[in-house]
Amino acid sequence: MSQQPSPKHPSGSPEHHAQVNRRIYRATGALMSIQVILRAFGLIEKMIMARYFGTGAEANAYSAAKKIAAPVLALGDQVIMHSFLPSFVQRMRERGERDAWKMASTCINIMILLMALVAVLGVVFTKNVLNIYAHGWMKDQHLVALTIHLTRVMVVAMIFLAISSFTYCLLNSYKQFALPAAADLALKGTVLVFAILFAREWGAYALAIGFVIGAVAKVAVQAIGLGGRVANYRPVIDLKDTSVRQFALLAMPLILGWFFSTFRGWMEVSFLTHIKNTGNTSAYDYAKSISDLPVTFFPYVFGIALFPFLTDIAVAGDKVRLRAMLMTATRMMILIFVPLAIALILLCNPIVLGLYGSKMFLQASADLTTAPLKIFSVMMLVSALEIIVNQFYFAMSDTVRPTVVGMVLLPVYAIIGYIGVYTNWLGSFAISLKHIGLLPNRPDVYYFTLGSGAIAVALALLVYRAVKVTALYVMIHKKLGDLNVGQIWKLLGQIAIALIPFVLIVLFSAHHWPNPAHAHSKIKKLIKLLPYIVSTGVGLLCYCAVLHYRHVDEIALIVSKARGKMNRGSVASV
């Protein structure tokens, strides 16, 4: 249900704004708590894969199967949330809850039929799809057969995950955030349980089967959360419903963008599987899992909590409020992800070996993983800003501009990826830097592997997204007015000063703490990561202290809230 201002705090008043902000922050805090567990599950899954499969055939087949299924799974995230939720909320405002559920029932039933058709086609034409995605693997019969079987198992989950996208939106429309996020724990947790119990005997099939059963569990948890409201569901399809048509109009640009995103995903897998060293595919996946952790931990969950409230504000036509919220969110992302990116770049080798190191994952695998990880470290900030700015466009029912920008810029990704993979210019450039002493003295084959492997694909993705985000920010001022970019440049200058002690502390830890690779067990490897974490934490405290001294508003607000809680705690104890 949409946010309604209380009589004491009318819409547009400072008190109402503060009330909305508190609800957003509380929802974000709850989602972040769940994400801690969710991301931990994901990392443990990767650790199990690294232990049993390394960067071998099982790991590459499972990674490729997930990438093949990912475009259809992304349909719910990219299309349903941002086209269905505004339509459902508006319908519920105008005609009431029961009538809004008629529209929801039609949308859900259409999606079930479409996903069932896609699942059948996916099972029948799996080999044809694999030939498109990973043409370079087709000579390896064992790898091809394994990838086909895993894909056919995982494609069944598409039907249930499509339903879960709608139930997720429905719960969000009632301002319920924790429960739908907890349903993701059911999915990830099931995969993890199957990986722990059966990966040794079943191989990658354990993870694929766990994924299907987890998808069913996710829908069940969300259905329980909706409670008696589920009784409003009807097995009908009413194509004459005006809200269904509105949903379709909003969804069309997103579906078009989804097709282009799928095409980009095909290029990504094609680039990675073109390399003779097939370890590039799993190394790329391992690296992206690490960099995705902070992005999912804050910007992603913040965007989820923010979107229903943004929709209400956009419907009310309060552009001043939207502009202020956009710039506040942008500043927060910059403050958080600039130091995190630097820390991850400086500490990537011990982090990778601490998380993934095993008898099957040695320094050679770590080298393959750390190369793209350095690129993904920079991309964390770009991804965070992309999530934020997209939410504002979608809240204003503008699904066209983000889609068109992504489509127009896709050749940028294709050109950089093609040149990097097929011409090996990055490897040649790296060797030139090695000869003049700017890079470590490694065998030439190492630099050719980097140049023609995952690092080129990662660089292509970074440039593509960076240009896209820049274009979206440039265009949104036409909707919201002057964004006061001068304040952002001022903030970057303050951050540059605050980073000096932070970088020195992180560099000290990188050169003086023991490498986790020397530990003989996984627990000891993780324990050896603790000094790096503590040092980074100390560096962040120094970073925040300098920013507080420089009177950065966001840091001052955090300090003020922390002092308020401490004072309340002191009074309560007295």
In a domain, 163, yes or no: yes
Angle between helices 157-173 and 205-226 (to 10 degrees): 30
Residue 288 burial (C-beta neighbours within 10 Å; 0-12, 13-18, 19+): buried
**Does a structural domain hold residue 97?**
yes
pLDDT in tens, 147-186: 888 888 888 888 888 888 888 888 887 877 777 777 888 8
Consecutive 10-residue averages of pLDDT for the chain (574 residues): 43 57 70 76 80 79 77 69 79 83 89 84 78 66 82 84 86 78 84 88 88 90 87 86 82 82 80 66 84 82 78 80 89 93 91 82 81 91 93 86 91 86 66 64 53 75 94 88 85 93 92 77 79 92 91 72 50 39
Q: Is 186 part of any domain?
A: yes
Whose CA is closest to 230, among 162, 158, 170? 170
Alpha helices in 125-230 (DSSP H): 126-133, 141-154, 157-173, 178-202, 205-226
**CA 348-352-355 angle, 5° bins:** 135
pTM of the model: 0.71
* Res 135: pLDDT: 62
DSSP letter for 218, please.
Answer: H
Cβ count within 10 A of residue 384:
26
| 439 in any annotated domain | no
Q: Both tokens of residue 49?
A: 């894969």
Is residue 170 in a domain? yes
Tokens 């552009």 sit on residue: 319
Which phi-psi region, left, alpha or beta, contains residue 518 (left: φ > 0; alpha: ψ -120 to 50)?
alpha
pLDDT value for 2: 38
Q: Cα(251)–Cα(32) distance, rounded to whole angstroms? A: 28
Q: Which domain holds residue 203?
A: 57-277
Whole-angstrom CA distances from 298 to 339, 355, 495, 541 are: 15, 21, 20, 19
Cα torsion angle, 517, 339, 303, 80, sign: negative
pLDDT at 145: 84
Tally the domains of the chain: 1
120 occurs within a structural domain: yes
Cβ atoms of 92 and 227 closer than 8 Å: no
Query: Which single residue is written with the structure tokens 């934020």?
Result: 388
For residue 239, report the phi and psi dihedrals to the nearest 5 degrees. Answer: -75, -10
In a domain? residue 482: no
> Is 227 a domain residue?
yes
Determine the Cα–Cα distance for residues 380 and 295; give it in Å rounded to an integer. 6
Dist CA 429 CA 434 (whole Å): 9
For 43-86, the pLDDT digits (tens) are: 788 788 888 887 677 888 887 777 777 766 666 666 787 788 77
